[in-house]
Amino acid sequence: MESLELFSPNEGLASELQEAILSLSQSKLSHQFRDEGLLLQSLTHSSFFNERNGQENKVQSDNERLEFLGDAVIGLVIAQSLMEQFSKASEGKLSRWRSSLVSRKTLAEIALSLGMNDWILLGRGERQTGGAVKISILAGVFEAVVGALYLDAGLEKVNKFLRQAYTPWLTALTELKDSEARKLFDMKTHLQEKTQELYRAVPSYQLIDTWGPEHEKNFKVEIQIVGKSVAYGEGKSKKEAEQKAAQTALEVLGF
């Protein structure tokens, strides 16, 4: 497919571009939308909508409202799936696993695995700054597509789609031992439980450095336990850096 960067908002090619995106996405989703406008809306980032507002444009809104709906639907389907697969798991474990499975990072990874980065309608500026692979944008479009699919085809279709999309993540969780699953899906929680058990203290996370342009910042975090520096982690968000630092700390401490 031609890069979206080639299309100026004044070139009058919005309609052709949108048709190409619709064809690609419906093929990958294995669903022909009764209301293609819903799907188009789910793929429309606010930067694209604002840039083309008033010009040739089939979509009437950006995807933020569908993103809101999709978030709720994903949470419901994943909660039900976890309850079915882990009938003996406690509420606490189920909550931690669900939290990780519906996190922005996981949603973005699933969106990339499905090729959704090629579907997103982005404004020129957002496209040129790597918007198609930003975690927040990928996660948002995945949620919005789920919201559109729910409105167009109902919960049964969404349930089937999500369980297929999540297969590698759910399979990994099923095959891991409980302790390994905790490390994989929530290293901060696992580290806190261990430090409370052994040292009667919780880890302290300190942001010690940030660098890079505003749209692509990097964060570095230090973990201290009972006043001693144990590990560092770096990531594209403070949360990601904390999780990586926690993973390193677990390895350093032999957990």
Alpha-carbon torsion (73, 133, 25, 174), positive or negative: negative
CA 250 to chain CA mean position, Å:
25
CATH number, residue 139: 1.10.1520.10
Query: Are 166 and 205 found together in one domain?
Result: no
Domain boundary among 176, 200, 231: 176
Q: What proportion of the chain, given as a percentage, has pLDDT over 90?
A: 34
Task: State pLDDT tens for residues 194-209.
Answer: 888 888 888 999 999 9
Q: What pLDDT, on a 0 to 100 scale, did the predictor assign at position 192?
A: 83
- CA-to-CA separations, 218 to 169, 188, 230, in angstroms, rounded: 26, 19, 20
Query: Are 129 and 39 found together in one domain?
Result: yes
Counting Cβ atoms within 10 Å, is residue 89 exposed (0-12), middle (13-18) or buried (19+)? middle
Instruction: For residue 181, tell me if it sits in a domain.
Output: no
Choosing from 36, 67, 71, 126, the catalytic residue is 71
**206 or 58, higher pLDDT:** 206
Q: Which amino acid is at 137?
A: I
Query: Are 156 and 221 found together in one domain?
Result: no
Annotation says 35 is catalytic: no
Asked if 107 and 146 touch (Cβ cutoff 8 Å), the reply is no
Examine the pLDDT at 14 and tell me if it is beyond 60: no
Domain boundary among 176, 211, 228: 176
Instruction: For residue 139, tell me if it sits in a domain.
Output: yes
Query: Are 106 and 217 found together in one domain?
Result: no
Examine the pLDDT at 15 and tell me if it is beyond 60: yes
Query: Are 126 and 236 found together in one domain?
Result: no
Instruction: For residue 206, tell me if it sits in a domain.
Output: yes
Average pLDDT over residues 189-197: 81
Query: Are 130 and 29 found together in one domain?
Result: yes
DSSP for 44-80 reads B-HHHHHHHTTSS-S--S-SHHHHHHHHHHHHHHHHH
Examine the pLDDT at 12 and tell me if it is beyond 60: no
The structural domain count of the chain equals: 2
Instruction: For residue 80, tell me if it sits in a domain.
Output: yes
Average pLDDT over residues 20-44: 89
Alpha-carbon torsion (61, 67, 68, 74), positive or negative: positive
Query: Are 127 and 235 found together in one domain?
Result: no
Task: State pLDDT tens for residues 120-133.
Answer: 888 888 888 887 88
Query: Are 14 and 99 found together in one domain?
Result: yes
**13 or 144, higher pLDDT:** 144
Choosing from 36, 143, 152, 242, the catalytic residue is 143
Q: 53 falls in which pLDDT band (50, 70, 90)? A: low
Coil, strand or helix at 188: helix
Average pLDDT over residues 226-247: 87
Q: 211 falls in which pLDDT band (50, 70, 90)? A: very high
Q: What pLDDT, on a 0 to 100 scale, did the predictor assign at position 33?
A: 93
Query: Are 171 and 200 found together in one domain?
Result: no
Query: Are 168 and 198 found together in one domain?
Result: no
CA 31 to chain CA mean position, Å:
22
Asked if 79 and 99 touch (Cβ cutoff 8 Å), the reply is no
Q: What pLDDT, on a 0 to 100 scale, did the predictor assign at position 10?
A: 32
CATH number, residue 201: 3.30.160.20
**245 or 6, higher pLDDT:** 245
Q: What pLDDT, on a 0 to 100 scale, did the predictor assign at position 255?
A: 66
pTM above 0.85, yes or no: no
Counting Cβ atoms within 10 Å, is residue 213 exposed (0-12), middle (13-18) or buried (19+)? exposed
Domain boundary among 148, 176, 204: 176
Range of the domain at 52: 4-176
- Cα of first residue to Cα of last residue in the chain, in angstroms, is 47
Instruction: Show Cβ contacts of residue 89 under 8 Å, excluding neighbours closer than 6 positions.
Output: 82, 97
Instruction: For residue 73, tell me if it sits in a domain.
Output: yes
Q: What pLDDT, on a 0 to 100 scale, did the predictor assign at position 181?
A: 55
Q: 7 falls in which pLDDT band (50, 70, 90)? A: very low
Query: Are 166 and 190 found together in one domain?
Result: no
Query: Are 82 and 165 found together in one domain?
Result: yes
Instruction: For residue 34, tell me if it sits in a domain.
Output: yes
Instruction: For residue 195, tell me if it sits in a domain.
Output: yes
Annotation says 36 is catalytic: no
Instruction: For residue 47, tell me if it sits in a domain.
Output: yes
